[in-house]
Amino acid sequence: MNVITITKVESDKFVKYHVTNLLSFVKFLDTKFPNWRYINVFNKDTQKQITSFTCKRRPTQRTIKTA
């Protein structure tokens, strides 16, 4: 599933990305923004929030399965 993410990377900075692989995306964040805080994940088509992750509670799968 192709999703949109909005990630808090600094106390006053957010970044938005289109993501197909959440595990690769987290690795990218760890490299580019080592102090990132959380990720909000949205359905690309409906633009509704699906889930969120934190730097401590990370995604465990490449994609999110929705019903």
Residues 35 and 57: their CA atoms lie apart, in Å, by 14
pTM here is: 0.90
Segment 29-42 mean pLDDT:
97
Question: At residue 19, does pLDDT exceed 80?
Answer: yes
Task: Identify the DSSP state of 35.
Answer: T
SS3 content of the chain, % helix, strand, coil (to 5): 15, 40, 45
